[in-house]
Structure 1
Amino acid sequence: MSSSAYVLDSESPEVLGQTKWSVTTDEMLKKDRVVDDYPSRQYQKPTYFNRKDPVIFSDDRQKAPLDEALLDHYEKNGFLFLDHLFSEDEIAKMQRYMQCLRDDEFIKQREESITEANSGDICSVFDVHKLNDFFQSVAEDPRLVRIAEYILGDQVYLHQPRLNYKPGFRGKEFYWHSDFETWHVEDGMPRMRALSMSITLTPNDHNNGPLLVIPGSHHTYVSCVGETPDNNYLSSLKKQEVGVPDDQIVQNLVESYGIEAAVGQPGRIILFDCNLLHGSNGNIIPAPRSNLFFVYNALSNRVGKPFGDTKVRPEYIAAREDIRPLKKVINT
């Protein structure tokens, strides 16, 4: 579902709407460490559980920055397409900075840059908001932050900002997965209280390996098999082999819900829940695909000790130091 129906609240409250969970942040963080509601990589056989968290954490739809039809669609399907939030000039500026980062040899050598296993092409640059002040201002734009705050029912911070590139001719596929499964097991994210916003910076069409989603799959938590090796992130960011759902469970979900491709022209925003199963095909056509990703996490849901008892991943992959709520800064 696509729409440009965005409402900017003139009163600019800190968080729009009333949260369904009114406990304090400290109470929430303490509560979420008592029992692991979302175990994974602990069993010999794959299994799944019903989601135990709301999809939308705010109740007051009258204060929502999106209209009710869009919120209903997001709650049911786990994703939305939003158009025309940014002007053509704003998108053009994002594209210029994106290309500068991709072409910068110094950036390519940094640990925040992930390259394709075979070609050496950059496929992701993490922590882009720290590498470029403009991307920090985009992440803090009230048009994005207010949506995230409403859905998550809390102030938010950036858990994982990045640029994703899928080069032409040899861009690799990325298998089905739930982001939350990884963030929970490897980063210590307690609840399904995070979301991603992907801003398309090139055409995303059916031929160049667009994001594929299984609508409605966010209501099911797929527990995966296999132990997490040390420093799994060094390989999983190029090709994920641990923390991937069982083929039969994926087939059952696809038979129930189908698959939708997140296609669109530059400037479309793909908003999706942290537990939505998604992946992408390889890209063998000349046209590349590039997207700017911001993962917003509720302040009350900040990461702690990994639930998989693994070493914490680097700060540029999972923010855990000096966590502060995002300001809402209007781009100029």
Structure 2
Amino acid sequence: MSTTSPSPAAAFGSIAGANATIPDQYPSRGATEVRIPRADPVVWADPETAEGPCEPFELREFERNGFLTVDQLIEPEEVELYRNELDRLASDPAVRADERAITESKSDEIRSIFEVHKLSQVFADLVRDPRVVGRARQILGSDVYVHQSRVNVKPGFGASGFYWHSDFETWHAEDGLPRMRTVSISIALTENLDTNGGLMIMPGSHHTFVGCAGETPTDNYKKSLKMQEAGTPSDEALTALADEHGIRLFTGKAGSATLFDCNCMHGSGDNITPYPRSNVFIVFNSMENAAVEPFGAPAPRPEFIGARPPFQPVR
């Protein structure tokens, strides 16, 4: 594993955007793995003056660790509303037949349903909730749009996990997000236990970008949404990051939430318990960081996975 920046020509190659040439500050999917410092802010607004739901100390915590937890973002009756809506979507034959519904690789169980804010008015309203989008605006220092939304379902007795990865590596290489100006929020619809395949993050890992080795296969998303391989760091890189930063496992009751930076190294294990784990996952990208052409893939992924222009700010 390389721990130094590649040559300037490799590190700052460019692609043709809609109206300009966009520098590639985060090379990936090349012949070798690279590890380079982050070149972007984490919190794009002044933590002391940014208006919104987050307190200044919470924004500083996000800057330092790459994540922020909220013990109760939504109320129990709201959890019930969103859980019922998830059940309705997952049992709807039309949704199950849609390409936006992803099933487990070893079964026909629903794994994820993408673009839920377009499939469901209930989830569209959640995206616009000031408790949700307000935090994203504070962190990113601008208006935002939804780059991706989905519900994740981890039924008990064998639902598979998500291997270690940086979302930004994929969104940069395959969706064309130029900079690290994107934040995710995961809202628990069931209790997150320390045994049912919860989210794990390496605190502070967002300050380092790992550019993964290997070309992106054509239509990689068809495989990666079930089991990701392209865009995953080497064992050596993951060990080095874990040794440096440690690993945090997130637990919490239904209604709790975790916001995390796009470049956090994170993953989750299989759920072999009887207790399901479900969450709604919304990715907000800055309107000033709009997607262009992919930096490391032959074509963009479908719009239901990564939004394509024109982009509309969340209001």
Same-fold status (TM-score > 0.5): yes
| Equivalent-residue separation in structure 1 for 2:132 and 2:161 (angstroms) | 28
Deviation at 1:68, TM superposition (A): 2.0
Asked if structure 2 preserves the Cα contact closer than 8 Å seen for 1:56 and 1:75, the reply is yes
Deviation at 1:29, TM superposition (A): 8.3
Matches within 5 A, 1:184-223: 184-223=172-211
Query: The residue matched to 1:272 in structure 2 has which SS?
Result: strand
Q: Deviations over 1:213-266 (max 9, x none)?
A: 100000000010011000000000000010001111111111111101111110
Deviation at 1:35, TM superposition (A): 2.0
1:300 aligns with 2:288: yes
Identity of aligned residues (%): 45
Structure 2 residue aligned with 1:7: none
Structure 1 residue aligned with 2:279: 291
Query: The residue matched to 2:49 in structure 1 has which SS?
Result: helix
| Equivalent-residue separation in structure 1 for 2:161 and 2:151 (angstroms) | 16
Instruction: Quickly say closer, same or farther: Cα 1:54–1:122, change in 2 above 3 A.
Output: same
| Equivalent-residue separation in structure 2 for 1:29 and 1:54 (angstroms) | 24
Asked if structure 2 preserves the Cα contact closer than 8 Å seen for 1:41 and 1:227, the reply is yes
1:54 aligns with 2:41: yes
Q: Deviations over 1:263-296 (max 9, x none)?
A: 1110001100000000011011111110000000
| Equivalent-residue separation in structure 2 for 1:47 and 1:76 (angstroms) | 23
| Equivalent-residue separation in structure 1 for 2:250 and 2:50 (angstroms) | 28
- Supply the AA of the counterpart residue of 2:42: V
Instruction: Quickly say closer, same or farther: Cα 1:310–1:74, change in 2 above 3 A.
Output: same
Q: Which residue of the other structure, out of 138, 151, 160, is the alignment partner of 1:150? A: 138
Query: The residue matched to 1:38 in structure 2 has which SS?
Result: coil
1:236 aligns with 2:224: yes
Structure 1 residue aligned with 2:11: none
Deviation at 1:315, TM superposition (A): 0.8
Any gaps of 5 or more consecutive residues in structure 1? 1-27, 328-332
Structure 2 residue aligned with 1:13: none
Q: TM-score, normalised by structure 1?
A: 0.87
Asked if structure 2 preserves the Cα contact closer than 8 Å seen for 1:315 and 1:321, the reply is no
Query: The residue matched to 2:294 in structure 1 has which SS?
Result: coil
| Equivalent-residue separation in structure 2 for 1:125 and 1:88 (angstroms) | 23
Runs of 4+ in 1 over 6 A off after TM superposition: 28-31
Structure 1 residue aligned with 2:56: 68
Matches within 5 A, 1:1-332: 33-43=21-31, 45-59=32-46, 61-65=48-52, 66-327=54-315
Instruction: Quickly say closer, same or farther: Cα 1:60–1:79, change in 2 above 3 A.
Output: closer
Q: TM-score, normalised by structure 2?
A: 0.92
- Supply the AA of the counterpart residue of 2:191: P
